[in-house]
C-alpha cells in the first residue's frame, strides 16, 4: 500500500491493535470501492465483506479479505457474474505471476473460490484447484520440539517475552487471540492459571494452562499496568505501554529464535502446529477442538491425530508381541516442594516463592550472601545508610 493510498486512520494512535486493524480494513475497503467498476461488483464486494462482519469475523480476517479483493480488482475488469472459465484461467495466471510465496498464492486462490461461491457461481468455483491441503501439513521434523521451545524461552529477553512464548506454545492460540488478552482474562488456579480468550473463530473460550503459569506469574508481578485489569496483557515495555502490535509480537519470536540459533520457522502458527500435534497424542478430537478453538465440523483435529501417528506404533509392536516403554517428549510442569505451585522442570528458582531448586543455585546464593555480609563487615556505614533510606521511604 503506497503512502498516497494509505488511510489517514493508520497515522493515528489507537487504544488497541484490533482497533487499528479495523480502521485499516475500513480505509482499504473505501479505497477498493472508490476504484471498483462496474456498480454490480461494488454491491457484491460490499455484501461479501459485510457477511464477514455479521458473522463476527475478526478485523484481521476482514482486512485479509479486503486485501484479496483489491488484488483481484487488478484482474477483474467486468462484472463478476459474467466471468467465464477463460476469465478465471487468466486471473489464476495473473495470481501465479505475483511476487508472493506459494502459500500466499494458494490463499488468494482459495479466497477467489470463496468469492465465486458467495456470488452463487459454484460451477466456476469448482474449476479452481487449490492443491491438496493435507500435503501442506508440517511433518514431524518441521515441528518445534520440546528442547527448542525451552531454548526459545531461555533466550527471551525479559519476563514478558518468556511468558509470551510459553503461553503461545502451551495454549496453541492464534495470534489475534493472544493479542486480545487483557489482565482480566488471566485468573489463578491451584495448579496453574485460567486463560479466557475473549475472541476467536468459535467465540470466547477458557482453558487451563500449567507449564506457562510460572512465567505468567513473573510477568504479571512486573507488568507496568498491573493494577489496571483493563490493560492489555502483552504491552510495550515503555510508556504509554500500548498494546503490542502484530509486528512487535512477531519480533519477540524472531529475536528469541535468532538468539537460540533455531533454523526452523519461529512464527505464531509454528507454535500452534507443535501444540496441536502434542495434544493429538492424548486428547480426543472433540477435546482438541474445544482447546484450540476449532469449529465443531473442522477436520483439523483428525489431521493432527494422523500426523502424530497416535496408537499406530504401539499397535504394530503389540501385534508382534513387543512391549516398549512409552517415551514422553512433552513439556510438563513439576511441583515446587515449598509452595506446591507448578513450575517448569528445568527452573533454577520457583517463580512463585523464590525457592532455589538446584544445588548450584543454593551454592551460588550462599556465596552471594557471604560476600554481602563480608562487605558490610568492612563498611558498616553502608548498612546504616540502607536502614536510614528504608525508614524514610516508610514514613
Instruction: Report the range of poorest mean pLDDT among 36-50, 219-233, 282-296, 381-395.
Output: 381-395
Give CA–CA dist 57/77, Å, rounded. Answer: 28
The per-residue pLDDT for 58 is 87
> Which cell numbers hold the place of 380?
558498616
Share of the chain above pLDDT 70, in %: 77
Q: What is the mean pLDDT of residues 163-180?
A: 94
CA 268 to chain centre: 4
pLDDT band at 281 (very low <50, low <70, confident <90, very high): confident
The per-residue pLDDT for 360 is 55
pLDDT band at 12 (very low <50, low <70, confident <90, very high): very low
Q: Say whether pTM exceeds 0.75.
A: no
The per-residue pLDDT for 29 is 94
The per-residue pLDDT for 10 is 39
For residues 393 and 249, which has the higher predicted lDDT (pLDDT)? Answer: 249
Measured CA distances, 98 to 25, 76, 92, 331 (Å): 22, 15, 10, 41
The per-residue pLDDT for 387 is 62
For 232, phi then psi, to 5°, come to -70, 140
Q: What is the mean pLDDT of residues 183-197?
A: 95
Peptide bond into 38 cis (omega under 30): yes
Q: What is the mean pLDDT of residues 350-371?
A: 62
The per-residue pLDDT for 388 is 66
Measured CA distances, 213 to 126, 163, 186, 335 (Å): 47, 8, 10, 12
Topology at the third CATH level for domain 140-318: hpI Integrase; Chain A (1.10.443)
pLDDT tens per residue, range 92-138: 988 988 888 888 889 999 999 999 999 999 999 999 988 655 444 55
The per-residue pLDDT for 317 is 73
Q: What is the mean pLDDT of residues 317-336?
A: 68
pLDDT tens per residue, range 59-97: 989 999 999 999 998 889 899 999 999 899 889 988 988
pLDDT band at 168 (very low <50, low <70, confident <90, very high): very high
Give CA–CA dist 279/306, Å, rounded. Answer: 12
Question: If you average pLDDT over every residue of the chain, what do you get?
Answer: 83
The per-residue pLDDT for 114 is 95
Inform me whether the pLDDT recorded for 271 exceeds 70. Answer: yes
Winning range, highest mean pLDDT, from 113-127, 328-342, 344-358, 374-388: 113-127
Break the chain into its structural domains and give their ranges: 8-131, 140-318, 359-394
The per-residue pLDDT for 16 is 77
Amino acid at each position: 500500500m503506497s503512502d498516497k493510498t494509505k488511510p489517514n486512520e493508520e497515522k493515528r494512535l489507537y487504544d488497541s491493535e484490533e482497533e487499528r486493524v479495523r480502521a485499516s480494513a475500513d480505509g482499504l475497503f473505501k479505497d477498493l470501492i472508490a476504484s471498483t467498476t462496474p456498480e454490480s461488483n461494488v454491491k457484491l464486494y460490499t455484501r461479501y465483506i459485510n457477511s464477514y462482519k455479521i458473522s463476527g469475523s475478526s478485523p484481521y480476517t476482514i482486512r485479509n479479505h479486503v486485501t484479496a479483493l483489491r488484488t483481484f480488482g487488478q484482474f477483474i475488469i467486468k462484472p463478476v457474474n459474467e466471468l467465464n472459465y477463460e476469465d478465471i484461467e487468466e486471473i489464476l495466471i495473473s495470481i501465479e505471476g505475483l511476487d508472493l510465496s506459494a502459500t500466499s498464492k494458494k490463499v488468494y486462490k482459495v479466497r477467489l473460490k470463496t468469492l465465486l461461491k458467495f456470488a452463487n457461481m459454484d460451477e466456476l468455483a469448482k474449476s479452481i484447484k487449490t492443491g491438496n491441503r493435507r500435503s501442506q501439513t508440517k511433518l514431524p521434523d518441521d515441528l518445534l520440539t520440546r528442547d527448542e521451545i525451552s531454548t526459545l524461552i531461555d533466550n527471551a529477553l525479559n519476563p514478558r517475552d518468556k511468558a509470551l512464548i510459553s503461553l503461545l506454545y502451551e495454549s496453541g492460540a492464534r495470534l489475534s487471540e493472544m493479542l486480545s488478552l487483557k489482565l482480566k482474562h488471566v485468573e489463578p488456579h491451584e495448579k496453574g492459571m485460567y486463560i479466557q480468550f475473549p475472541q476467536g473463530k468459535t467465540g470466547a473460550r477458557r482453558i487451563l494452562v500449567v507449564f506457562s503459569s510460572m512465567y505468567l506469574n513473573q510477568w504479571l508481578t512486573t507488568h507496568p499496568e498491573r493494577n489496571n485489569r483493563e490493560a492489555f496483557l502483552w504491552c510495550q515495555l515503555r510508556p504509554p505501554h500500548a498494546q503490542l502490535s502484530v509486528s512487535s509480537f512477531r519480533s519477540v519470536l524472531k529475536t528469541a529464535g535468532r538468539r537460540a540459533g533455531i533454523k526452523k520457522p519461529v512464527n505464531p502458527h509454528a507454535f500452534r502446529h507443535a501444540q496441536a500435534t502434542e495434544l493429538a497424542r492424548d486428547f480426543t478430537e472433540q477435546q482438541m477442538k474445544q482447546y484450540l478453538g476449532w469449529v465443531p465440523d473442522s477436520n483439523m483435529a483428525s489431521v493432527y491425530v494422523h500426523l502424530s501417528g497416535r496408537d499406530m506404533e504401539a499397535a504394530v509392536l503389540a501385534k508382534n508381541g513387543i512391549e516398549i516403554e512409552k517415551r514422553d517428549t512433552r513439556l510438563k510442569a513439576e511441583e515446587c516442594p515449598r509452595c506446591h505451585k507448578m513450575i517448569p522442570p528445568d527452573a533454577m528458582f520457583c517463580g512463585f516463592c523464590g525457592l532455589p531448586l538446584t544445588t548450584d543455585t543454593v551454592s551460588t546464593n550462599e556465596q552471594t550472601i557471604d560476600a554481602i555480609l563480608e562487605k558490610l563487615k568492612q563498611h558498616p556505614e553502608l548498612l546504616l545508610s540502607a536502614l536510614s533510606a528504608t525508614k524514610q521511604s516508610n514514613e
